[in-house]
Each structure stands twice: as structure tokens, then as C-alpha cells.
Amino acid sequence: EITRILSVRAAPLGTRYVVVLANDLTESIRLDEVRRDFIANISHELKTPIGAISVLTEAIASAVDDPVQVRRFAEKMTTEADRLAALTADIINLSKLQANQALHMPELVRIDDVIDRAIESNAVVAGARNVVIARGEPSELTVYGEDPLLTMALQNLVSNAVQYSPDKSRVGVGARLVDDVVEISVTDQGVGIPKEDHDRVFERFYRLDGARSRNTGGTGLGLAIVKHTAQNHGGDVTVWSRPGQGSTFTLKLPVATGDDHVTPIPAARL
């Protein structure tokens, strides 16, 4: 089994010595593969809605005399176009997060505001299914980072909690300080995730049950976006879950100490 790939160069140094330069390429080759996989996945994921739109266009053209059918096809087309838009937005967001590991304009961010916005943006979908989103006491905690990115990350976690939960269940969102780390947790009473998938759900396009997840309209990129955002802020995201009982996703970020004038150093990438 090959474990490391080296590029080796040798040059004579005088008559008695040889200089050997060994460059470990293992990591860069692995990253190349990850990138190639990502692009292959993107093409595959984009093909589905584009193919559907093209078929629906033809269907509409041949059903012009039947307004009921035309309306039905047009509605389906809107769903597919929305899916395409969500997918494109997530791909762009994730690519930006991967490319810009350093934060652009970090500022002090109030966690209570981030939680409010994440709940607000999911309120309509949750309300339609009678899922109650309960928030903990205001924490008054702040972190140093980019508000829009943190809001997007928490929106994704709350949106998943609602999506993968039964009607009339409860989602809890709260923040607390553990040592120097702000822990924002999102708990649901949903389908849960088997232990062997706990790491994999953060991979791009990984879905537990392809058909089920795709039907819920997800892009398969939400948790990858959360993970990259956490890491770009010097933090991380973890999951606790039991199938049938529910899940808790916890976004962990270094608390702002008041003298944060430098961007947190991102944790190891990918």
C-alpha cells in the first residue's frame, strides 16, 4: 500500500556529495482528488434539475391546448428552477468559504441576534408543519467574526432540524459558554442519524437517504457550509444523534475576549 507520494530531486554538490530534495505531495494530491470529486458531483447534481426543466419545457409545448396540464407542468418547473437556484447559491457560498479561509471584515457579533435571524428565516416553513422553534434565554455572548456567514450557518442547522423532524415536534436553539467557547446548539426530535454517518454528514453532497433528503429539497451542501464557516472562525461543529430520538448539532466558536484585533487562525482545512 502506498502511504506517501514524494517528488525527489537530486543534484551533485561538488564531487563527494549529492543534495537530495524530497517534497511530500501526498496532501496536495489528495486535495486535487477532493476538488475533482467536488466538480464531478456538482455536474451530476446540476444535471438533474436542468434535465427536468428541459423535459418540462417540451411537455408544456405539447400541452398548449390543455391549460390544466400546462399549469401543472409550469408549477413543477418552478420547483426545479428553485432547486437549481438554491444549489447554485450553495455551490458559490461553499467555494467562497473554501477559497477565503481568512475572514474579510470581522466584527463583534451578538449571538442572540444570529439566533433570532436563524429562527426568523425558518419560521414560515416550521409554522406550516406546526413545528415549534423554542429559543433559550438570551446569552449576551459575542464572538469575533462575520455576521452574515454565522447567520447562514445557523440558518442551515435550524432549517435541517425542521426538515428532518416530524410535524408538531419541537426544535430548541440556545447558546452557552463552556470555558472560552460559545456553544450554539440546535436540538430536534427528528429522524436522527446513525453513528457511522456522524462524520460523513459534513461531507459535500453526502445524504443519508438520497431519495428522502432530495425530496425535502435540500442541496446536500448545508452542513459542509456550516463546517467551513465554523473552521474559518477558528471553531468547529459537532453532532450528537440517535436514530429515532433526534439530533443536536453544536456550533462551537471562540468567545470574543475584548482584545480580538486579529482574525482567528482557521483550524486545519477540509
Contact residues: ligand ADP, CB under 6 A: 156, 160-161, 164, 188, 190-193, 201, 206-208, 213, 218-224, 247
**Grid cell locating 265:** 487562525
- Least Å distance, CB 122 to ligand ADP, is 12
Q: Least distance from C-beta 193 to ligand ADP, angstroms?
A: 5
For the bound state, the minimum distance from the C-beta of residue 153 to ligand ADP, rounded and expressed in Å, comes to: 11
| Residue with nearest beta carbon to ligand ADP | 218
Between 73 and 164, CB nearer to ligand ADP: 164
**46: Cβ contacts below 8 Å, ≥ 6 apart:** 84, 87
Q: Are 203 and 166 in contact (CB under 8 A)?
A: no
Q: Which residues pair with 177 in a beta bridge?
A: 182
Q: What is the DSSP letter of 219?
A: -
Residue closer to ligand ADP by CB (options 251, 256) is 251
Q: Residue 76 or residue 206: which is nearer to ligand ADP going by CB?
A: 206
Shortest Cβ 265–ligand ADP spacing (Å): 25
**Alpha carbon distance 250, 237 (integer Å):** 6
C-alpha span between 127 and 174 (Å, rounded)? 19
What is the rounded CA–CA span in Å between residue 166 and residue 187?
13
* 142 vs 241 by CB, closer to ligand ADP: 241
